[in-house]
Amino acid sequence: MKGKTILIVIAVLAALFIGFKVMKSVAGKKAETEQSQKFPVEVVTIVPTDYDETINLSGTMRAENQTEVPAKVPGKIIKYLLEEGAWVEKGQDVVTIDRDEIGVEFKEATLESPISGWLTKRYYDTGAHVAPGMPLFQIADYHRVKLTIQIPEAEISRVRLGAGAQISIDAWPDQKFYGLVSQMSPTVDHLSRTVKAEIAIKNPGMKIRPGMYARASINIKHHVKAIVIPTTAIIERETGSMVFVVENGLASARQVKVELDMGEISSIKSGLSFGDKLIVAGQHTVAQGSPVEQVGGK
């Protein structure tokens, strides 16, 4: 009987040992499986960010000092004294006209430039007949230029005189130019519902030419210590905008309210705090409570 009892005890101990080994093996495999199921994500830590709120408009460049000079008397153009592109001093003769007025003793008339600048355009050829008021040539001094824009009526209250603007020009894709809103019309065009405005711009190196097309990013408001995140981190759902952050190694969903969408980046009004670890890559593969592994970001 005693021997039988010993055998039973040995069998129980053996069963317990085997069970322990099995449980340990299962636990190890479970831990390994859980480890392999962690979702790789890229994370950034949210910090206070300053940014400029802007409005983007486009328009055409003009010389700050530019004028068209009309004929003062009727007649036939004898000769332009200068070629297009030539620099003209104020008061310098530009074109001569053979006057055909009855009773005029001196038939030849000369037309002068009222300003200094470049002769940017001659409107007629030699021998053309002209009448008073017809433009004969254009003079432009583009040491400084201005961009003419049309501000939509709904944006008038946001744009102020003196506001800074960054200018982009296709002819110089790798360079930015800077200017200030210098003029705004006091009236609204009833057809386009816009206000005409001008941005005064310095022209270093004389790279900007009248007639060029340009885009202006006008500063509306400067924001300090804001929560700014990549727009691509935001997921749009039927319930609203949401993002994922990492908390204790798990993905946690947050509903957010976007204050301003600026294209590549967005300002967040609510739903996030400084110090949150925002998932910026891999957010579309996780769900609430998913285990994550940070593989990039900062």
Q: Which of 275, 214, 217 is nearest to 246 (CA)?
A: 275
DSSP lists the bridge partners of residue 291 as 250
The tens digit of pLDDT for each residue in 101-130 reads 666 666 788 999 999 999 999 999 999 999
User: Six-digit token pair at 14?
Assistant: 């053996």
Residue 130: what pLDDT? 93
Residue 19: what pLDDT? 52
Pairing of strands 213-230, 194-202: unpaired
**Cα distance between residue 96 and residue 182, in whole Å:** 37
The tens digit of pLDDT for each residue in 201-215 reads 989 888 999 999 999
- Spacing of C-alpha 60 from chain mean position: 18
Three-state DSSP class for residue 14? helix
Q: Which of 125, 185, 154 is nearest to 55 (CA)?
A: 154
Read off the pTM.
Answer: 0.66
Least confident of 15-19, 156-160, 197-201, 224-228: 15-19
Query: What percent of the chain stands above pLDDT 90?
Result: 72
DSSP lists the bridge partners of residue 50 as none
| Four-residue CA torsion sign, 165, 170, 174, 175 | negative
Residue indicated by tokens 């960010």: 49
Three-state DSSP class for residue 230? strand
Residue 284: what pLDDT? 93
Per-residue pLDDT band for 8 (boundaries 50, 70, 90) equals low
Residue 205: what pLDDT? 86
The tens digit of pLDDT for each residue in 71-81 reads 998 989 999 99
Residue 100: what pLDDT? 73
**Cα distance between residue 235 and residue 257, in whole Å:** 12
| Four-residue CA torsion sign, 27, 32, 37, 41 | positive
- Spacing of C-alpha 187 from chain mean position: 27
CATH topology of domain 55-61+145-223: Elongation Factor Tu (Ef-tu); domain 3 (2.40.30)
Is the pLDDT at 53 greater than 80, yes or no? yes
CB 267 within 8 A of CB 258: yes
The tens digit of pLDDT for each residue in 149-169 reads 999 999 999 999 999 999 999
| Domain range summary for the chain, segments of one domain joined by + | 39-51+224-297, 55-61+145-223, 72-132
CB 242 within 8 A of CB 255: yes
**Cα distance between residue 211 and residue 124, in whole Å:** 20
Residue 26: what pLDDT? 45
CB 258 within 8 A of CB 289: no
CB 273 within 8 A of CB 247: no
CB 243 within 8 A of CB 255: no
Under CATH, which architecture does the 39-51+224-297 domain have?
A: Beta Barrel (2.40)
- Mean pLDDT on 239-258: 94
- Mean pLDDT on 9-24: 51
Residue 30: what pLDDT? 47
**CATH 3.30.70.20 fits domain 72-132:** no
